[in-house]
Structure formats: structure tokens, C-alpha cells
Structure 1
Amino acid sequence: MAFVGMLNGTGTDRSAAFTLEQAIIPGLVQDASRTWALAWYNVVLDMAGSLGALAAALPLLLQHWLALPLLASYRTVFLGCAFLGVVGAILYPFASAAVEVSKSATETTLHNVSPATKKLVTRLAGLFSLDAFGGGFLTDALVAYWFFRRFGVAEESLGLLFFAVHLLNAASHLGAAWLARRIGLVNTMVFTHLPSSLFLIAAAFAPSLKVAVVLFLCREAFVEMDVPTRQSYVAAVVQPNERTFASGITNLARNVFWAVGSSVAGFLMQNVALSAPLVIGGGAKISYDLLLYRAFRTVKPPEEQ
């Protein structure tokens, strides 16, 4: 039941809905506005995520204010989460027909996608797999557990920390769109992602909670800047009627290797070292950045040509 309950039906980059949304949004705007549109889309997601992070303190508040037993307080929060998921599902059918892709786009399958697109998407999927594998080491839950075990941080403090994290993520999306217009999508993806990984590795060796929090927040100010730029790049380098295919394949690869990374991270935390996932995850992401820059720095989207 816990596994099924964690299947993501929301509009984040771990979901089926995201694949469709990533294909839809670029078709609603001009090429020059594509990255900005996706940046605002991610701002909304992260602002909502910041409120969700604050909800981590709800069980304690329910126990204190309403004198609910421990189990009942957590059950109430889980039911509230399920209710919000149902509300989100109900809202989708009310979306305008304008979001639908063209008839020709809906008929695009693996058999009629151009060979050039298949090759390009395969290369991107391989690189994104490495990035997602590293990201699987660094889920919010694992990082929160690391702070708890390493420094004894309480639940309510973790909620505030990840509230700040998601606010930084949201602001960084807009910064990424601004920067991409000036230095390009691939450059923005690589040159913001690299320092974020270095901050993360440094946090693993932080001597105190204050230093660890500062380094972690510095990391979070940069780490999501590759999200709207990556989404925009995938949509830009294929034909409009191939966007759903490209989004589906690249996100499938990301999801599979993200799950693998999470499993390996848990094993390493328990059997090797508590901070091992931060170092290995950061290293995997640095490798991804360097390989991406080498392979795609000359493959320009239409607005950069």
C-alpha cells in the first residue's frame, strides 16, 4: 500500500502528467518565450512544494493543539494529501482544448519518429539517466534523514528548512530563464549545475549544522536552474509533433534511474557511510554536466541559431 501510495500522479518531474505537460507548454508560446513559460510552470510547482514542506510540522501541531494520538495525527495528514491529489485529478478535465497537441502530433509513434530524433533523444536519455541516478541519492527524504541523523534536527525545523529550499528553487527557475537568454540553454544547465554539486559535496564534510545548512541552501539556489532549461532544450531540439515522444523517453529514463539511485543510496547510508550519498550523488551529477557540455554544446535550439 505504501508503494502504491507513493506513485506520483502530480505535475512533477517524477510523474506521467509531467511528460504531457512538458510537451504541451512549449506549443502554447513562441520559441523565444518557451523557457520563460516553463520557468513559471516550475515556479508554481516549487511554491506549492514549499507549502507541502511546511506541512511536515502538521502532525506535531495536531498532537499539540487537538491532542490527537501520534498515529491519528499522521493519518490525518496522509488523508489530506490524498484529498489534494483527488482535487488535482478532477481539475485536469477542465483544461482548455487549446492545450491539446495537433492531430498529427498525437499520431507520432516510435515507428514514424525521424532517425535523427531517435538518435538525439537516445543520447539525451542516456545523459539524463546519469543525472537522475545522482539525483536519486539526494531526495528530500534522504537529505532530511541525513540532517536528522547527523545533527539531530527536529521535524519542525526540517519543515522550515525545506520550505526555504523550495522558495530558493522557485526563484532560481526565473534566474535560469533570464540567464539562458544571455548565455544559452546548455551553458546555463552546465554552469549552474556544477557549483551546486560542489556545494553539496562540501556539505557532506560540514563540521557543524550551521555550515551544513548554509552550504545546502547555496546548493539549492543553483541546483534547479537546469530544470526549465532542460525541459526547454528537449522541446526545442525536436519537431513539435515529436515532443511527447521525446519527453516520454527522457522522463522514463530519468524515473528508472532515479529509483535505482534512491535504492543504492539507502544501502550506502546504512552500510558504508551516512554522508556517502551526498558525495557520490554530487560526483555523478558533475560527470553528467561535463558529458552533457561535451556532447551538446554545439547543438543549438532555434532561438540560439
Structure 2
Amino acid sequence: MVLGFELLLALDRDASSLFLTRSIRLFAYGLIGVLLVLFLKLLGVSDGVVGTILTLTLIGDALVSLFVTTNADRYGRRLMLVGGSLLMALAGIAMALAPPSDGSVLWFLCLTIVATIGVISPSGNEVRTYCLSQLRGFPDSDSIFVKCGPFLALEQSILSTRIAPSSRASLFAWYNLIGSVSTAFGALVSGALVVFLTDESALDVNARTTTSDKFFSYYMKISHPFPTSQLFRNDTTPSSPEAPMTKLDSYRAVIAGYGAVGVVLAVVFARLSSKVEVEHVSEPAGEALREARPTEATALLAQPSSVSASSTSQAAAPYSWIFGNMSMESRWIVARLCCLFTLDSFAGSVITGSLLAYWFKVRFNVDEAALGQIMFVSNIISAASSLVAGWITTKVGLINTMVFTHLPASVLMILVPLMPNLFWAKAVLFLRYSISQMDVGPRQAYVASIVPARERTAVIGLTNIVKSLGNSLGPLLAGYLISVGQFDVCFVVCGGLKIVYDLLLLRSFGGADREAAALRRGN
């Protein structure tokens, strides 16, 4: 089947469990991502301190993720996953019980540490941007927070050993789709719970305004940054005395639910078999080379496919806190990939979802309800189209799929601000989203295939971290361009840099697809 649904049904117990944990975890991130900043504001944290907490959390999380992903194969993947889940549970409980801010350094440090070690995700995702313009108004102080926890790298590394190389692109597309849908449901449940717990009329079936109507209004309000400075001032007032629960207490209840999910994750991770550990991985000979390595990267590619996977690390290298136990050969290739992925992430962060929504607001005076519809349709189209990428990969290869779906999407991004009216702007945007995420599954499959199994966790973790850091830089440029009245230039910069990324990727690694095709013909 084109969509690869039969591959999903054929997964073994360990792989199925990881798809389950993905959905559970992203649901939890959706729960907390919508209201974390609002919660901090209700605790009495100032705008500047909130930004500082989230920024320090980003830095600390990157270091934690780097340590976990470079050492998981030494100490045990299952142990790291269970430990991370328990920390997630403890962080949720600690955050829910956090007292109002007293302005002390100790309170600040404790909250920052809790958010860091507990993989608190203010973005509602694992590698994603979060607009802090909500704290100070937009666009005068536009900053970004990006979160990248260690779960993603560990799960993808294990999945790469539990599924066939030819199925990775399709299954990673499903993996991403399940995560996106779970995040969306988490956000919906989060908002609905807050409305239900704080609004007395939500319990009245005869009320003229339905709970769903009130929730949609609330969700739109906290999901879009205009004008959010006023939003925070309004939301710091307590609910009416008749309400079942105050707004702050309702936030605590949702965050406690995040902690409960951590316990569930720990139970599921603990039931994984010993086959998920690296010492139990039996990688087919040469599998890491056949699909991915560019001919100019190493002379090993000239050897037949019977080359042992262990030969890929013949250039032994000392342990590194950045690269772990990767061979010198792998470090060179991964370093090049990291540079390319950083460029792509930086380009993408010049136009984030929040900035895109704000552009529609400025250009066409679109109201919040219509903006929600535009972004919802865009994300649904994007998620659904990614399932086709696996089928395309079987026809043209991983790199070609990444480039020849991503390149037209980048051109369409440049065309969006050139459209004369809202209809055509939405049409071009929807067309872009129909192909813009087709490269995600193949890219994850490529990264998983480019190194031997024992190096995958470190490689996936490192590439995710550099993408997150790249994401944190683009909004600085976007904020400057917007402040000087050049909002449309952001689209040109975003699309242009992504085109450069696509061409460099094809130039540096495109030979791998040609070699793989020749190998298939030879076999």
C-alpha cells in the first residue's frame, strides 16, 4: 500500500510499544504546551524571568539530551527511558505544587531545574519552536524557545533496529503523524479541562453557550499571540467565586496530569524486551552503507555490500562528550549533516507558525477564528501528505525524496507574500504544506541508516539538538525585518535559505541514491 498502513500493523511488540509511548508522551506535551507560560504568569513570574527560565531550560535540556544520547548505549537504553519518564512524573508533580513566586533566586533555580530534568515542553512537542512574543507583545521583543528532549533520539534509534531499512521512511512518517495528532488532542484536552474546571456553566447542559464554544474561544485566545500582553493581564485575575475551581488550580490539575503520564510511560518502557539494547542489535552487513553514504565521503563505498558493519568504524576515535563513541568517519559525515540541518532549521524558524499567523493578521486582517482554521487545515494537510513520502522513497530514494519535495515547497514559501488576496495566499500556503513535510520521514530514515547501529542514538540525538539550536536563531532575524517594515522579506529569506539547503544536500549526499539504485539493479 502507498501509505504503508500494513507495515504499521506488522510491527513487533517493542516497536508497537514505542509508537504507543510516542502518542502518550506527545499527548502530555500537548497538555502542558498550551498553558505553561500562562501558568508561570499566574504564579507571579515577570515577563523577563519567564523568558530567562525557558532559555536556561533550553540550554540545560540540550546538555541533558547530549549526555543521555551519547551514553544511553553504555548504560542501557531501557534504563534511560524509564529514568527519563520517572523524572517527567516528578517534574509534573513538583511543578503542580509550586508555590507562587517570592522573587527569590532559590525559587527561580528550583523551577528551572525541575523544568530541565523533567523534560517540560512548553512547545507541546519535542523539537519545535515556541514564540515568546506572548510575554512582551509582538513584534517588539520576539524571541523563541525550542525544546528537544532525549526520548526522540532513543526511540528512533531503537525503531531503526526493529524495522527493515526499506520500511523506515514509511514508518517514520506514521511515527510523526501519530505524534502530531496526539499533540493536537493533548492541546484540546488541556483547554477543555481548564474551561470545564473553572466555568460553572460548563456543568449546565441547558446553558445557551456550549462548553465547546467556550473552549474554542479560550483555546484560540491562548494559541495566538495578538495581543497577548493584554491576555496575560486578564488571565491573572481569579475565576468567579461560583466557579468549581480557580484558574491557577485548574492549571495545576492539568500539569499534575502531565506527571501522571510520566508514570504510565515508565511502565510501558519497563516492559520493553532486552532486544532494544545495542548489544542485542544484529545489523545486516553493510546496511548502514547501502542506503546513505555519499561516494565522496569514504572509499568504503567502493566495496561490495558484504562489507561488515564493523568495518565502518575502522578509523577508531577516542570517546567524545559531543560525538560519543562515533568513528572518525562517522563524525565527518555527521558534522556535515549537522551543518545542513542547522541551516534548514534556521531558515524554517524565520517563518514560524506564530509569525505566519501574524502575517495573515497584518496583511489581510484575518480574525482569530479564521486563523485557527487556516493553521488547522495546514497542519492536517501536512501530516496527511507525509504518509506518501515512504512510497516515493521506494521509487526515487531517500535523498531525492527529501530534495524534490522540499525544493518546490521552498519556492512556494517565497510566493506566499506575492499573492494579491487572501484566497490565493491560502491556496499557495495549503499547496506548500501538501509537500513541505514529505522530507521528514526520509530524513529520519537517512540519519538512521548512515551509521552503524551502535552509533545511531548519539547521531540522532546530536542532529536533533543542532536542529533545535538552529531553530532558536531565525526569529531574531525575523524580529528585525518586521521592525523595519520588511515582513515579506522573511518569506524570501526562509524559502531562499531552504533552497540553498536542498541544493547543498543534493550536491553532498545525492550520490547515495544513485549508488543504491545501481546496487539494486546489480542484485
Distance 1:225 1:84 in 2: 33
Name which of 212, 224, 227 aligns with 2:425: 212
Name which of 137, 144, 162 aligns with 2:350: 137
Matches for 1:57-76 after TM superposition, within 5 Å: 61-62=214-215, 71=235
Aligned to 1:91: 264
User: C-alpha deviations, 1:80-113, integer Å up to 9, x for none?
Assistant: 87466445433321223238432488xx863531
The yes-or-no answer on 1:252 pairing with 2:427 is: no
Note if contact 1:134-1:281 (Cα within 8 Å) is conserved in structure 2: yes
Name which of 452, 476, 487 aligns with 1:239: 452
Deviation at 1:233, TM superposition (A): 0.3
Distance 2:368 2:392 in 1: 35
Change (3 A) 1:225 1:78: farther
Change (3 A) 1:284 1:90: farther
Aligned to 1:102: 278
Farther-moved stretch of structure 1 (80-89 vs 114-123): 80-89
Distance 2:507 2:515 in 1: 20
Matches for 1:29-40 after TM superposition, within 5 Å: 29-40=163-174
Aligned to 2:62: none
Aligned to 1:21: 155
Deviation at 1:232, TM superposition (A): 0.5
Give aligned pairs, total: 299
Aligned CA RMSD, in angstroms, stands at: 3.2
The yes-or-no answer on 1:202 pairing with 2:391 is: no
Name which of 500, 520, 523 aligns with 1:287: 500
The yes-or-no answer on 1:182 pairing with 2:395 is: yes
Distance 1:233 1:158 in 2: 35
Name which of 120, 124, 129 aligns with 2:333: 120
Change (3 A) 1:270 1:26: same
Distance 2:514 2:173 in 1: 17
Report the identity percentage: 31
Determine which structure has greater relative contact order: mean sequence separation of CA pairs < 8 Å that are 6+ residues apart, divided by chain length: 1
Farther-moved stretch of structure 1 (229-238 vs 7-16): 7-16
User: C-alpha deviations, 1:262-301, integer Å up to 9, x for none?
Assistant: 2221221222412222110111101000000000011259
Query: Structure 1 or 2: larger helix share?
Result: 1
Farther-moved stretch of structure 1 (269-278 vs 32-41): 269-278
Deviation at 1:125, TM superposition (A): 0.3
Deviation at 1:117, TM superposition (A): 0.6
Change (3 A) 1:294 1:271: same
Change (3 A) 1:292 1:88: farther
Farther-moved stretch of structure 1 (54-63 vs 43-52): 54-63
Query: Gaps spanning 5+ residues in structure 1: where?
Result: none
Deviation at 1:188, TM superposition (A): 0.4
Scaled by the length of structure 2, the TM-score of the pair is: 0.52
Deviation at 1:48, TM superposition (A): 3.2
Deviation at 1:179, TM superposition (A): 0.4
Distance 1:182 1:289 in 2: 19
Deviation at 1:12, TM superposition (A): 3.3
Note if contact 2:396-2:513 (Cα within 8 Å) is conserved in structure 1: no
AA aligned opposite 1:91: V
User: C-alpha deviations, 1:180-199, integer Å up to 9, x for none?
Assistant: 11110000000000111111
Deviation at 1:33, TM superposition (A): 1.5
Change (3 A) 1:301 1:120: farther
Deviation at 1:251, TM superposition (A): 1.3
Distance 1:177 1:228 in 2: 7
Note if contact 1:46-1:169 (Cα within 8 Å) is conserved in structure 2: no
AA aligned opposite 2:126: T
Change (3 A) 1:241 1:11: farther
Aligned to 1:264: 477
Change (3 A) 1:273 1:83: farther
AA aligned opposite 2:373: L
Scaled by the length of structure 1, the TM-score of the pair is: 0.85
Decide which structure has the larger Cα Rg and report it.
Answer: 2
Change (3 A) 1:155 1:37: same
